[in-house]
Copies of this chain bind each other. A is one copy, B any other.
């Protein structure tokens, strides 16, 4: 076991796969010599060679499109989009091509590629370095969407993603790269060092998709969350003094509906959290499924605490971010109804 930050865990996953499988290669903007603007690929070019880890032109559509071709050929490209906010020029290649290749060719051509990209706010990135676009991908048939909340999961899920024979969108909550974050920007930053979930095996291991992680167990309510909001959920439940089933979903598509339904049928109350804008966010999908499968168990309306339906503002970042205050209020409201 080593102690790793989420960045180091991601890098370790990439290193493991580059070492094991000659068909794995990495490219993206600034990922080569420099090692990526968040350093996730630092040292990998030097170790594995220029032709396996290299810089790409600033063309997200080109990066995805080239990866689709390589993946169809039989390689396993793992590409980086520098910020999820910049993934849209590649949206067509992801949705119309990667996601549908297997279907339209009846399995003749497939897209075993992984797209890594940082998501979420909390680093004063403003509207173009803070977005959480997961719902724009969960709506697309043929894509898997994964989002870890800690180093251990990040490495295991990323290795799983690279080994998966379908296209995987791997979202990295950038506010968690260097440490957990409970939503309070005024507290000193915490690092992963010493954190249980920062203990990461050096070698190969995987974490399965479609398996929510149960953080805490309780009978009061169920909190469904993922990414940065997992830490906000934990701190808020504590502060609100409730015993919550907190589920870190990790894999949005495929979704661990079984665990969700089991929990809500037990607690009868449900809170859904995400950083993304509310309308048509992934929370809506969670609510739709929960109310369908747990209708008769529900004792209160399901509440969602999310980013507002506005771009992510720079100066008012903490008014936008769905932090502890709003989460605690929501918990209280649910418990009172």
A303 contacts partner chain B, Cβ-Cβ < 8 Å: yes
A66 contacts partner chain B, Cβ-Cβ < 8 Å: no
A309 contacts partner chain B, Cβ-Cβ < 8 Å: yes
By the criterion CB–CB under 8 Å, are A311 and B103 in contact?
Answer: yes
A127 vs B141: C-alpha distance when bound (angstroms): 11
By the criterion CB–CB under 8 Å, are A104 and B139 in contact?
Answer: no
A235-291 interface (Cβ within 8 A of B): 253, 276-277, 279-285, 287-288, 291
Assuming A88-B91, A141-B277, is B285 touching A295 (CB within 8 A)?
A: no
- Interface SS majority for chain A: helix
- A234 CB, nearest partner CB in chain B, Å: 24
How extensive is the interface on chain A, given as a class?
35 or more
A129 contacts partner chain B, Cβ-Cβ < 8 Å: no
A96 contacts partner chain B, Cβ-Cβ < 8 Å: yes
A147 contacts partner chain B, Cβ-Cβ < 8 Å: no
A302 contacts partner chain B, Cβ-Cβ < 8 Å: yes
* Chain B, Cβ-Cβ closest to A283: B288
By the criterion CB–CB under 8 Å, are B280 and A282 in contact?
Answer: yes
- A291 CB, nearest partner CB in chain B, Å: 5
* Chain B, Cβ-Cβ closest to A337: B295
A293 vs B138: C-alpha distance when bound (angstroms): 25
A135 vs B140: C-alpha distance when bound (angstroms): 10
Residues of B within 8 A of A280 (CB): 135, 138-139, 280, 282, 284-285
A20 contacts partner chain B, Cβ-Cβ < 8 Å: no
A285-329 interface (Cβ within 8 A of B): 285, 287-288, 291-293, 295, 298, 300-304, 308-311
Q: A253-B279, A284-B285, A295-B301 are in contact. List 18 more A-B contacts (CB 8 A).
A: A85-B96, A91-B91, A96-B128, A100-B127, A104-B311, A135-B135, A136-B139, A139-B277, A141-B308, A141-B310, A141-B311, A279-B285, A280-B282, A280-B284, A284-B284, A288-B288, A291-B301, A291-B302
